[in-house]
Amino acid sequence: VVVVQNASVLELKKALRRHVQLRQARQGGGQHLSWGAGPGGKYIWRTYHLTYAGEKLADDRKKLREYGIRNRDEVSFIKKLRK
């Protein structure tokens, strides 16, 4: 996904959501994913963390560059552990 150079973690999450939704639409629908609060379904951001270089991108307001993320870097989804 592409985000502006000064993007926050929240902006990255929104871009990921758009990317996945567009990809599913192009592939003819598929499984519905619930990305936020609301009744029923999976809550992606409640179930997974975004990580970069082993660090959780926990603060939605923080800029990606503050985590050291640059062009062409990869972030990962990691499943949250149950408490």
pLDDT the model gives residue 72: 92
Please write the tens of the pLDDT for every residue from 3-53: 998 999 999 998 988 888 888 788 776 666 666 654 444 578 788 889 999
Count CB neighbours of 48 within 10 A.
14
Q: Please indicate whether residue 38 or residue 2 has the higher confidence score (pLDDT).
A: 2
pLDDT of 82: 73
Which domains are delineated in the chain? 9-79 (3.10.20.90)
pLDDT at 39: 47
Task: Answer for the pair 41, 34: CB distance below 8 angstroms, yes or no.
Answer: yes
**CA distance linking residue 56 with residue 40, whole number of Å:** 26
Residue 20 confidence (pLDDT)? 83
What is the value of pTM for the model shown? 0.80
Q: Which amino acid is at 6?
A: N
